[in-house]
Structure 1
Amino acid sequence: MKERARRSRSPTIIDVAAQAGVSPMTVSRVINGRASVDPTTRASVQDAIDALGYTPNLAARSLVTSTELKIGVIYANPSAAFMSDFLTGVFEEASIRGARLILLKGEDGRPPSPAALENLVASGISGMICAPPLSESAAVLDVLRKARVPVAAVGAHDVDNVICVRIDDRLAAYEMTRELIAMGHHRLGFVVGNPDQVASLKRLDGFYAAVREHPGVRATIAQGDFSFASGLAAGDQLLQADPPPTAIFASNDDMAAAVVSVAHRRQLDVPRELTVVGFDDTTAAVMLWPPLTTVHQPVRRLAAEALGLLVAEIATPPRTPAKRADRVLDHEIVKRQSTSPPQDDATP
C-alpha cells in the first residue's frame, strides 16, 4: 500500500527543493546548468533528484528558465474596494520595476488549494505577495515556507520569516474612538472584523483602550467579517439594543456602509441621530450618503511598499528565506459628513 501511494504522484520541483533544503529557483538553476550555483548546493540538489526519481517537465522547464522577475499575488479578500486599491498599488509598482504578476485567487474567501499554490511556485516565481486575510494564513504560509519562496504580507502582524507591511491598527482605532468620545458620544457600538486576522483584534483592542479611559462610556460589540453582509447583521444587532448606541465604529468601510444602510432602513438620520465611522478610506467611504468619516489606511502604498521590499529581498544574494522585516506606514483620520455630536448628552 505504501509503494502504491508513493507511485500515485510524481515528484515535483518543490519536493526536490524540500529534500535538498533549497528554493525551487535553485533547483531550476541546477537543472538548467546555471553556473551561479555553489558546487556543494548543486551536489545536494542532484542527490535529491536521484533519490526522488524526479524528471523535469519540459513545459514547466521552459517557464522556470526565464530571467524575468515573476511575482505571485495571492488574494481572497471579500472587500472589492480594498482589493481594488491593493491591486492598483501592486500593478503600479510592478510596472515601475518591470515585474510580471501572476494572480491566484482563493474562492469564497478561502485560501487557494495547496496544489494550486505548489503549481504557482513551480512555474518559476521569484517571490509572493499576499493580501489580507491570506497574509496570515497558516495554510498558505506553510506551503511557501516549505518551498523557500520569499513572501511579503500586507496587513500582517509579527509573522516569522515574512516581510510585513502594515499600519498601527491599534493606535488608529484608539484615536478614532477618542474622537467619538470627545464629540460627546457615551454609547458606542463597535463592529469587529474577521476574527482570524490579527488586525481585527488590534482594532478591537484600540477601541477598548479608549473606552477604558472614560468610565462613563458604554460599549456594545457585534461580530463581523469585513463583508458588507456581515455589516448588515451587525448593524441590526447593535441598533436593537436598549438604548442603542449613538455612534457606531465599524472595522472597515464596507461594514460601515452596511450600518448606514441599516440606519436608513430604520429611518434614522445619519449623522443627526446616528454617527457612523469606518476604517480603510476606500472608495466605499465616498460612494454613499453621507460620505464616511474613516481611518485612512494607505492601501496602495502598503501594497507598493510590500512589492518593493520583496524585490529587494529577492535581489539580495545569497538567496535565503525572506528575512523578518516590519514596515509600519502612517495612518490618519479623514473627517467627512457621517459624524456629529449626539442629540442629547448620551449619558448612560
Structure 2
Amino acid sequence: MKSTGQPTINDVARIAGVSKKTVSRVINRSPLLNQATREKVEAVIAELAYVPNPQARALALRRNFLLGLIHDNPNAQMVLNFQEGVLDAIQGTEFALVVRPVDRHSPSLFDDIRKFIEQQRLYGVMILPPLSENDALAALFRELGCNYVRMGSAPLDDAAHLVQSNDRQAVRDAVAYLVAQGHTRIGLVQGPDGFRSAAERELGWHDAMEAAGLPHGPDLMARGNYTFETGREAGGKLIDAAEPPSAIFASNDVMAAGVLHAARGRGLDVPQDLSIVGFDDTAIATAIWPPLTTVRWPIRTMARSAALKLIDPEAASGEQSLFPTDFIARASVAPR
C-alpha cells in the first residue's frame, strides 16, 4: 500500500474505511474508541507514515490544542488533584493544560478571563468552584464560542457542561454514621461563604441532625475557609464551648486536620475524647494520626471526565455527570 506525496488525514480515513473524526480521535488517543477500530487506524497511519501537523490543524480550527483550567480556590490539594485528572485524560494526545488562577472578587474578572481565552485560543475550559457557580461566567464562554465544563456540588448546567458530586447526601450519611456511634452533640466546621460546596455540606449536616432529633443550632457551628489555620481556630472554638461536641464534622480534610491539632493542643485524645470526620479523602487524611474518617470526593475521576467532554464532546456524550462519593471509615471516630 503506497501513497503519492505527503499522506493526509483524508488518505488515512479512506484506506481505513472510517471517518476523519475517527482518525482524529485515534490521533488524540481518545479512550472512547473501541480497540479494534483504534488498531486498524493506527496500522494505516504507520503504513502511510502519516504525521499529523498540529500547527496546521490548530490554524484550521482557529484554536490551539489547549485546555484551560480557571480557578479561585483556597484548597491547593483540590486544585492539584483536578490537574492530575486532566493530565490522565490528555496523556499521549496533542492537548496540553494551561492553569489560570484568578481573583473572583476582582472588578476586572470577566475582562481578564475574556482576554485569557482569546489570547490562548483555548480548545475548551474547565471551571472549578466557586467560579463554576457563576452563571454569568458560563454565558461569557458561550458568547466567546468556547466550550466549557463546570465542576459543582449540585446541578449547575446540562450534562455536557457539568461534572457534579452529591455533597449533601454524602455529608448526611457521614453525620448519620456519627449518630450511629452514639454521638448526640456533633459540631460542624463550615466551609467559606459563597461556596456552593460549603452550603451543600452544611445542609447535609442539618439534614442528619434533624432526622436524628438532635440539636443543630449556631452553638455547634464555626466558620472556616478550607484552610488548616481556619480549621484549627474553628475547632478550638467548638472544643472550648460551654457544651462542647463529642464529634466534629469538618467540611474538608485540611480543616479536619486543623481540628485535630486544636484537640491535641488541649490535651484531648482523638478519637476517645473527640471524634473527627473530614471531606475529600486527600493525602492528608492518611498522613495524620489517627488516620481520618472522611468522604472520598472523586476529584481526579471528575477532572478526567471533564477533559474528555471538551476533547471530544460527541464521543463523550455518554460520560457520566454525577459522581457519587464514598464514605471511608478510619480510626478518627470511636463510639461515644
Q: Please tell me the TM-score bracket, short chain as reference.
A: 0.7 to 0.9
Instruction: Give the residue type in structure 2 aligned to 1:281.
Output: D
Give percent identity, aligned residues only: 31
Is 1:332 the counterpart of 2:295? The answer is no
1:92 corresponding residue in structure 2: 88
1:43 corresponding residue in structure 2: none
Assess, with a 3 A threshold, how the Cα gap between structure 1 residues 190 and 153 changes in structure 2: closer, same or farther.
Answer: same
**For residues 212-232 of structure 1, what are the alpha-carbon distances to aligned partners after superposition, in whole Å with 9 as ceiling and x for unaligned?**
122245551112221222212
Instruction: Give the residue type in structure 1 aligned to 2:124.
Output: G
1:185 corresponding residue in structure 2: 183
1:290–1:337 CA contact under 8 A, matched in 2: yes
- Displacement, 1:143? 3.2
- Displacement, 1:292? 0.4
Written as runs of structure 1 = structure 2, the 5 A alignment for 1:264-343 is 264-313=264-313, 327-342=321-336
Deviation beyond 4 Å, 4+ runs, structure 1: 62-68, 107-112, 216-219
Structure 1, 232-241 or 155-164: larger mean CA deviation: 155-164
Structure 1 residue matching 2:241: 3-state secondary structure: coil
Structure 1, 134-143 or 241-250: larger mean CA deviation: 134-143
- Displacement, 1:209? 1.0
- Displacement, 1:112? 8.0
**For residues 119-169 of structure 1, what are the alpha-carbon distances to aligned partners after superposition, in whole Å with 9 as ceiling and x for unaligned?**
221121111011222222356434323313211112253324671212111
State the alpha-carbon separation in 2 of the partners of residues 305 and 111 from structure 1. 32
Assess, with a 3 A threshold, how the Cα gap between structure 1 residues 256 and 112 changes in structure 2: closer, same or farther.
Answer: farther
- Displacement, 1:289? 1.2
Assess, with a 3 A threshold, how the Cα gap between structure 1 residues 307 and 217 changes in structure 2: closer, same or farther.
Answer: same
- Displacement, 1:68? 4.9
Structure 1 residue matching 2:287: 3-state secondary structure: coil
State the alpha-carbon separation in 1 of the partners of residues 107 and 138 from structure 2. 10
Instruction: Give the residue type in structure 2 aligned to 1:106.
Output: V
State the alpha-carbon separation in 2 of the partners of residues 106 and 258 from structure 1. 26
Written as runs of structure 1 = structure 2, the 5 A alignment for 1:114-153 is 114-122=110-118, 123-137=120-134, 140-153=137-150
Assess, with a 3 A threshold, how the Cα gap between structure 1 residues 333 and 198 changes in structure 2: closer, same or farther.
Answer: same
1:175 corresponding residue in structure 2: 173
State the alpha-carbon separation in 1 of the partners of residues 230 and 107 from structure 2. 20
2:89–2:304 CA contact under 8 A, matched in 1: yes
Instruction: Give the residue type in structure 2 aligned to 1:82.
Output: M
Instruction: Give the residue type in structure 1 aligned to 2:151.
Output: V
State the alpha-carbon separation in 1 of the partners of residues 95 and 107 from structure 2. 24
Structure 2 gaps, min length 5: 1-56
2:48 corresponding residue in structure 1: none
- Displacement, 1:276? 0.6
Structure 1 residue matching 2:213: 3-state secondary structure: coil
State the alpha-carbon separation in 2 of the partners of residues 185 and 97 from structure 1. 51
1:80 corresponding residue in structure 2: 76
Written as runs of structure 1 = structure 2, the 5 A alignment for 1:107-256 is 113-122=109-118, 123-137=120-134, 140-160=137-157, 163-217=161-215, 220-256=220-256
**For residues 279-337 of structure 1, what are the alpha-carbon distances to aligned partners after superposition, in whole Å with 9 as ceiling and x for unaligned?**
01001211211110000111100110111122232789xxxxxx9x9711121111111
- Displacement, 1:233? 2.1
State the alpha-carbon separation in 2 of the partners of residues 268 and 133 from structure 1. 35
Structure 1 gaps, min length 5: 1-61, 317-322, 343-348
CA RMSD of aligned residues (A): 2.8
State the alpha-carbon separation in 2 of the partners of residues 157 and 101 from structure 1. 25
State the alpha-carbon separation in 2 of the partners of residues 216 and 144 from structure 1. 45
State the alpha-carbon separation in 1 of the partners of residues 194 and 64 from structure 2. 35
Structure 1 residue matching 2:264: 3-state secondary structure: helix
Structure 1 residue matching 2:313: 3-state secondary structure: helix
Assess, with a 3 A threshold, how the Cα gap between structure 1 residues 217 and 143 changes in structure 2: closer, same or farther.
Answer: same
State the alpha-carbon separation in 1 of the partners of residues 189 and 225 from structure 2. 9
- Displacement, 1:269? 0.8
**For residues 8-47 of structure 1, what are the alpha-carbon distances to aligned partners after superposition, in whole Å with 9 as ceiling and x for unaligned?**
xxxxxxxxxxxxxxxxxxxxxxxxxxxxxxxxxxxxxxxx
1:296–1:332 CA contact under 8 A, matched in 2: yes
State the alpha-carbon separation in 1 of the partners of residues 103 and 93 from structure 2. 29
TM-score, length of structure 2 as denominator length = 0.74
1:135–1:156 CA contact under 8 A, matched in 2: no
State the alpha-carbon separation in 1 of the partners of residues 260 and 212 from structure 2. 26
Aligned residues: 275
**For residues 57-82 of structure 1, what are the alpha-carbon distances to aligned partners after superposition, in whole Å with 9 as ceiling and x for unaligned?**
xxxxx986566532111122212221
Instruction: Give the residue type in structure 1 aligned to 2:311.
Output: V
2:65 corresponding residue in structure 1: 69
